[in-house]
Amino acid sequence: MPEKTENNQQAVSGDAAEELEEMYRKARAAFEIIKDWPQEKVDEMVLAAGWEWQKEENRQKLARQAVDESGIGVYEHKVAKVFTKTVGTLRDQVGARTCGLVRDDPEKGLKVFAKPMGVIANVVPCTNPESTVCCLGLSTLKTRNAMIVSPHPRTQGSTALTVELGRKALRKVGAPEDLLQCIAETSHAKTRELMSRCDFAIATGGAALVRVVYEAGKPAHTVGAGNVVSIVDSTVDLKATAAKIVKSKTANNAASCSSENAVALQADIYDEMLDALRAEGRYLCDEHERELLRKYYWPDGKTLNREVVAKPASFIAERAGIEVPEGTRVIMVTGIKPGPEDRFSGEKISPVMTVWKWTDFSEMVDRVGEILRFSGEGHSVSIHSLKEDRRMELALKTNVGRVVCNMGHTAANSGGWGSGMPTTDSLGCGTWAGNMTSENIDWRHFLNYTIMTTPIPEKIPSEEEIFGEYLKKWGRD
């Protein structure tokens, strides 16, 4: 029997420990080969991997296997997503310097040198078992790091295939293939052991995974749960806005943490916006149907039924015992109260949305804060408004890393062709969610820096320069 650790978690067997040690040894050897490579050679290696991952035939294979293994998501959407995430990541890297001297400031006498971290453990979710490898694989290669992937138990095959395609690309250009590796027959114990052996970790998952990652005792990037509320006011084109929201919500059957989980509609346009959403395939439950849905989603009153994750609205309605019109794409329920008393105010990871009504914008911003404190703080919010003061108020008052304005949320939040957000599948949620960063995690987050300083002319600031304005107002006493 495997041993138990001090915190009563199962440890890996001796054979598994040897397997992981051998993987780390090979990754470290590969890392030693490239750690001093020049930028041009690194960029060629990155482009080789990106080219292989974005090929149509490979994206189709990856998407097909991911859907078949997990039973969630939409094949066509996954095919498109692998392209967007791969090419979007490459676009963001154009011109980026990650090798050697990356900044020279003669005025301050500073030179900044970029250094790799070493071997990075990458814990991958079943919702994006292929595109997460592409995003982070390109980022770790760009920064001259090695990566060992721990796939989700449900999607080991699609993640392993993604890694193997990357290894093929590395061989083609003469780079060491062991810069990319994937654990076979993964388990929670193996994942924990992998993170403890590597030099750094990145884990894309919810709060429970965050705790496991930090228990491994290595520096790490983690992410948080999403629970996007999309505020809509009377200044926007309601028909166009409804189309954006429903398209975003139904992308990959709402598997993304960036999917809208609620809409908050201004009272003046409430009925009209519901009509616009109905035209796009939404169905609003009555009180009885809402209760049936609630019992199906949270059978024990608090734990989400994993059967609903990224399933079509028709599947959910049938299992919940609700009759919905043909062509229903999104099921909606009215919100009652933010917090555990109304589970519909939290993340649902499926084509179900909660609808709120507001008359006072500032009050609605406060309510969004309550909703996020229950579920999703640190992640993101959305607003459809032409009023800059409202967009600014939402950004200033809400504890999130991202505010998406007048766009479908999933098309913009983690990068997109019409969004300036950095491309990623891993969204940091800051200290609000126990994460190291609130940024979109990309190549910038896998570097160490060495700063060299040389003498510059000494200049001590005068009292007036530092304290002038303060002394004018408060005096010297």
87 within some domain: yes
Q: Which residues contact 323 (CB under 8 A, 6 or more apart)?
A: 317
Based on the domain organization, do 20 and 163 belong to the same domain? yes
Based on the domain organization, do 210 and 331 belong to the same domain? no
Based on the domain organization, do 316 and 207 belong to the same domain? no
Based on the domain organization, do 153 and 235 belong to the same domain? no
Q: What is the predicted pLDDT for the residue at 206?
A: 72
Which residues does the annotation mark as catalytic?
257
Based on the domain organization, do 197 and 308 belong to the same domain? no
| CATH code for the domain in which residue 38 is found | 3.40.605.10
328 within some domain: yes
Q: Which of 5-9, 58-62, 312-316, 415-419 has the lowest mean pLDDT?
A: 5-9
Based on the domain organization, do 215 and 278 belong to the same domain? no
Q: Which of 13-22, 27-36, 96-105 has the lowest mean pLDDT?
A: 13-22
Q: What is the predicted pLDDT for the residue at 211?
A: 79
- How high does pLDDT run on average in the chain? 95
Based on the domain organization, do 50 and 187 belong to the same domain? yes
User: Does residue 372 have a pLDDT over 80?
Assistant: yes
Q: What is the predicted pLDDT for the residue at 394?
A: 98
Based on the domain organization, do 122 and 254 belong to the same domain? no
Q: What is the predicted pLDDT for the residue at 3?
A: 40
d(CA 293, CA 332): 10
The pLDDT of 334-356, averaged and rounded, is 97
The pLDDT of 293-299, averaged and rounded, is 98
The greatest distance separating any two alpha carbons of the chain, rounded to the nearest whole angstrom, comes to 78
Total domains, the chain: 2
Based on the domain organization, do 202 and 285 belong to the same domain? no
- In 3D space, the residue among 396, 398, 8, 378 whose CA is nearest the CA of residue 188 turns out to be 8
Show the domain range for 65.
Answer: 14-222+440-452
| CATH code for the domain in which residue 343 is found | 3.40.309.10
User: Does residue 13 have a pLDDT over 90?
Assistant: no
User: Does residue 29 have a pLDDT over 80?
Assistant: yes
19 within some domain: yes
Q: What is the pLDDT of residues 170-209, one digit of tens each?
A: 999 999 999 999 999 888 889 999 999 999 999 998 777 7
Q: What is the predicted pLDDT for the residue at 9?
A: 52
Q: What is the predicted pLDDT for the residue at 6?
A: 41
Using only C-alpha atoms, the chain has a radius of gyration, in whole angstroms, of: 24
d(CA 181, CA 356): 46
User: Does residue 84 have a pLDDT over 50?
Assistant: yes
